Amino acid sequence: MTTAELFTSLGLSQEQPGGCFSSTAWTSAAGAGFVESRNPSNGAVLGRVCACSDADYTILVDGVCQRQLSWRQVPAPKRGEVIRLIGQALREHKDALGTLVSLEVGKIKAEGDGEVQEMIDMADFAVGLSRMLYGQTMQSERPRHRMYEQWHPLGVVGVITAFNFPVAVWAWNAFIAAVAGNTVLWKPSPKAPLCALAVHHLCNRVLDDAGHPGVFALLITDRNALADRMVRDERLPLISFTGSVPVGRHVAEVVGHRLGRSLLELSGNNAVIVDETADLELATRAIVFGAVGTAGQRCTSTRRVIVHESQYEQLVSRLRFAYAQVTIGDPLMPDVLMGPLIDGHAVARYQAALDAVIQAGGEILYGGHVLPGPGHFVQPTIVRAQHDWDIVQQETFAPILYVMTFQTLDEAIHMQNAVPQGLSSALFTQHLRQSETFLSAMGSDCGIANINIGTSGAEIGGAFGGEKATGGGREAGSDAWKAYMRRQTTTINWGTELPLAQGVRFGR
């Protein structure tokens, strides 16, 4: 399929408005400039999107607020039915949308498709959830009283996403928010406007046909001031933000100040511990996928390997061998395992991190070079490092893997926990005691802790998120839906007396 055919099949054109509320209601192209989409593999412009103006913002937010008043009255299982239809539309367009993800953010096709599959899984999950959203019933201490809790929609949910998962992370939030009775305003990364538009075309067509236009609205902008207006907007009771720690901290402060809710998914500095009993074949495969997949640009990417000193030589030689097999290039080519970084800034950060680690005394064990353009390609890199070096404490969104050694598991767990971030973690072991120690309260301090599985590639059924500088939010599965609803405790007196709680007597 040519790019032109791909665009047509996804309803995209070379130039289009960047704000929409339904498949017919588009914002005007009123002079707020353009957001340009570039292919990171060759720098070519894929399309131009008219950025939203302040006036567009007002129209979009008024629209989703208005629409929520009717959407909240639709029974949750009926809302789920609409999400089921969206899941079906995504299945039909999986190949095209997966290709667009590859084109716009440089993931290999298998990972682009995987991301669309993650949306489909999320839709299925949300459909089931729409018949649950359970509240509990409590035993009242008073006669002829009934006490229970119920969950109501919050209102309008604001979702701000990053370039690295340009479609799936929105789906985690939006599908659950929608079955919960909320409408959603999405500000995608300005580095991936076409993915957001294509997804909105698909969803809006379904929503319009089902008679529910305007449940999802899209705000494309590259202006921080407009994003900030969204974060400050009291009509958005929840802001779900995926991105960097400094911006996440700002979001938390601003939303906290207005006593709104924020759901934060910030950085990761994820480690794989490989102990003296580990199956090195499994560990190697998991580490390569975790460190090289998505060119190291997942929040869950493996950034550190903490290996028992007895396994160090073997593991490093296996990793070097595996890295040498990684074909780098056009992410749409079938044999390619690693595409480009997102842009020139990302390449500069890769280079700066390597300069810093070498300066600190690190030894490059594999790679270490920026590849000639066009396109933002770098070599996946392995560096022997120390866990307490400044650069090792930071998340660099690039395929750089720091390797360090340990003698006792306690030491390894200490190293793994001794970073600001707390997203994902993994231990490779065949030893029950080591595994249980790692999973115990004395073990990993992360939101995700795996045994004999790498740090990335989580299923949607579990709650996704992490502790400390990762922000504490949980998205996707388990009971993450509760963040998108408000809890109401209800007590009903069906008797003829008015007994007070705690046996209090008031007056006669």
> Which stretches of the chain bind ligand UN1, using CB under 6 A?
118, 164-165, 169, 242, 298-300, 456-458
Nearest Cα to Cα of residue 478 among 462, 489, 491: 462
Cβ-based nearer residue to ligand UN1, 297 or 416:
297
CB atoms within 10 A of CB 15: 11
Cβ-based nearer residue to ligand UN1, 121 or 445:
121
Residue 187 β-bridge partners: 160
Distance CA 321, CA 102 (A): 26
CB atoms within 10 A of CB 175: 31
Asked whether the CA dihedral 87, 93, 99, 103 is positive or negative, the reply is negative
- Report DSSP letters for 422-461, one per residue: ESEEEEE-S-HHHHHHHHSTTS--SSEEEESS-SS---TT
Cβ-based nearer residue to ligand UN1, 53 or 421:
421
Q: Least distance (Å) from ligand UN1 to the CB of residue 189?
A: 11
Residue 183 β-bridge partners: 156
Q: Least distance (Å) from ligand UN1 to the CB of residue 456?
A: 4
For residue 265, indicate whether it is catalytic: yes
The CA-atom distances, in angstroms, between 309 and each of 273, 314, 385, 386, 435 are 11, 10, 14, 13, 18
Distance CA 169, CA 469 (A): 19
Cβ-based nearer residue to ligand UN1, 316 or 446:
446
Q: Least distance (Å) from ligand UN1 to the CB of residue 310?
A: 30
Q: Least distance (Å) from ligand UN1 to the CB of residue 146?
A: 41
Q: Least distance (Å) from ligand UN1 to the CB of residue 270?
A: 10
Cβ-based nearer residue to ligand UN1, 435 or 456:
456
Q: Least distance (Å) from ligand UN1 to the CB of residue 90?
A: 16
- SS3 assignment, position 260: coil
Residue 45 β-bridge partners: 38
- SS3 assignment, position 416: helix
Residue 188 near residue 489 (C-beta atoms within 8 A): no
The CA-atom distances, in angstroms, between 381 and each of 109, 161, 300, 352 are 22, 27, 17, 13
Distance CA 203, CA 22 (A): 9
Q: Least distance (Å) from ligand UN1 to the CB of residue 296?
A: 11
Of 115, 118, 265, 395, which is the active-site residue?
Answer: 265
Asked whether the CA dihedral 208, 209, 212, 217 is positive or negative, the reply is negative
Q: Least distance (Å) from ligand UN1 to the CB of residue 398?
A: 14
Relative orientation angle of helices 168-179 and 76-92, to the nearest 10 degrees? 150
Cβ-based nearer residue to ligand UN1, 173 or 416:
173
- Strand order through the sheet with 270-274: 363-366, 381-384, 400-406, 302-308, 270-274, 424-428, 448-451
Cβ-based nearer residue to ligand UN1, 267 or 434:
267
Residue 290 near residue 267 (C-beta atoms within 8 A): no
Distance CA 151, CA 487 (A): 5
Cβ-based nearer residue to ligand UN1, 298 or 376:
298
Catalytic residues: 265
